[in-house]
Structure 1
């Protein structure tokens, strides 16, 4: 039986990283619990002290197809290269120069929102159509593919 999955990020700023990934993927912040207009209102009603209100955040695919991304605050910073990373499919169906131009445009857009660009890998058919290695605002690696 297939399972739904959730991808969890350990981070220092759950709200900030959730906002970045919502923008990067076309996701939206998860709605607050029923009966509440905002997360701030819900957390206040639950008695969560202000200093703990950025301990977690989540974003969801507005179409309900992609996995939920969950961001949880941890005390330690990122220590080493990710063993697992996301590939953001920013140029589906494109090849050659058109593909790389689309990846460059997306890289530029995400850099303006806090990502960092690391390296471009040129197309090397038949094994690679080319990609760009990036990191999110907290240093987690991902590729524009």
Structure 2
């Protein structure tokens, strides 16, 4: 049986670089170096045919542990709820008011970056509280 060596998460979006840079800020990810022979990603992008320029962007975990995030331009707009979403684990191990304070502080930071708060899912005796949010293009994610 084959084992997975790497995992990449791909986002369909209208503006790949904008969405990638948002997620870099959320997760502490970085933009990898451009391909050999190019000083910047802009230089690389300008080398592509016009219809391919701005069509993709990526970011990576600087520690090399997290998955690569890849953002690709698609023509259609997002119209329904995601079937898959990311949980950004900022409150791991915290409960009650302490957890809520951490979630709210991170929510405020992300709203300043262009995210939108959707709703609080309060603790229910089984699961702890989490905040449902949307990124800069409306993709749902949770602060957990």
TM-score by length of 1: 0.92
Q: CA deviation at 1:89?
A: 0.3
Partner residue of 1:138? 137
Q: CA deviation at 1:49?
A: 4.1
Q: CA deviation at 1:50?
A: 5.3
With 84-93 and 57-66 compared, the bigger mean Cα shift is at 84-93
C-alpha root-mean-square deviation of aligned residues, in Å?
1.3
* Mapped contact 2:45–2:54 kept (Cα < 8 A): no
Partner residue of 2:85? 85
Structure 2 stretches of 5 or more lacking a match? none
User: Over residues 86-145 of structure 1, what are the superposed CA-to-partner deviations in whole Å (9 max), with x where a residue is unaligned?
Assistant: 0000112222111110000111110111110010011222x2111000000111000000
Q: What are the within-5 Å matches in structure 2 for residues 9-88 of structure 1? A: 9-44=11-46, 47-49=47-49, 52-88=52-88
Partner residue of 1:112? 112
For residues 82 and 52 of structure 2, what CA distance do their matches in structure 1 show? 26
Deviating beyond 3 angstroms after TM superposition, the runs of 4 or more aligned structure 1 residues are 49-52
Aligned pair count reads 142
